[in-house]
Structures are given as C-alpha cells and as structure tokens.
Amino acid sequence: VADGRIRLCGTDEVDQGGMLRVEPPGMDPVLLCRTADGFHAVDDECTHAIASLSEGRLEGTTVFCPLHGGSFDICTGKARSLPCKQALRTWAVAVDGDGVWLLAKKKRA
C-alpha cells in the first residue's frame, strides 16, 4: 500500500455498537469495532483457539468470543476473561472522508 494505509470500509458500514470482519490483502483478518468513542481494530481471530470474534458479541469495549465465551478489551487488545489469556494485536485506524482506514502499523506489539 503506497501511503501505508488500507481502506477497511465506509463509515456508514458499521453501526455504533457493531463489528465488521475485514480481510485486508496480505494481512490476517481484522475486527473493526465501532463504539461510542469511535473505531477500534484488533485481530479477528481469538487467541485461545480458532474462532472469528466477529461472530461473537460486543458489549461496550469488550468483545466476547462465540466459541468459549472468553473476552478481550478492544482498545488495548488485552484478554479480559478466561479462557483467553494472550492479547490480540491492536491496529491503528483513522477516519478520513467517508472511509475508515487501517494504518498499516501495529499500535503496539
């Protein structure tokens, strides 16, 4: 990506309180969440086993895995409840015009 960012979706494609799984080219699937304070992106795949968090549910800033019910903080990526222990990677996103963009750098390791 020439300018180091990838368009994930339009701002109107995710409602507040909603989530969207996006598969950016060359990257693992990303879970884009929209909360009261804006958009957050983390890995979509649960770190416990193989499950798409997009099929779980979002409550505030906590996403619950559909498979075993573990949870993560979507702002920090940290596991919030067992059986999840390992954090999700978090990704920086920005709104520009009518789009939500992933800045192709990890916020933190």
The footprint of ligand FES (CB under 6 A) covers 46, 48-49, 51, 65, 67-68, 70, 83-84
**Shortest separation between residue 70's beta carbon and ligand FES, angstroms:** 3
Cα 2 to Cα 43: distance, rounded to the nearest angstrom = 22
Cα 75 to Cα 42: distance, rounded to the nearest angstrom = 8
Q: Which of 33, 31, 39, 7 is nearest to 89 (CA)?
A: 31
Q: Which is nearer to ligand FES, 68 or 107 (CB)?
A: 68
Q: Which is nearer to ligand FES, 9 or 51 (CB)?
A: 51
**Shortest separation between residue 69's beta carbon and ligand FES, angstroms:** 6
**Shortest separation between residue 56's beta carbon and ligand FES, angstroms:** 8
Q: Which is nearer to ligand FES, 22 or 65 (CB)?
A: 65
Q: Is 6 within 8 Å of 104 (Cβ atoms)?
A: yes
Name residue 28's amino acid.
D
Q: Which is nearer to ligand FES, 58 or 65 (CB)?
A: 65
Cα 59 to Cα 101: distance, rounded to the nearest angstrom = 23
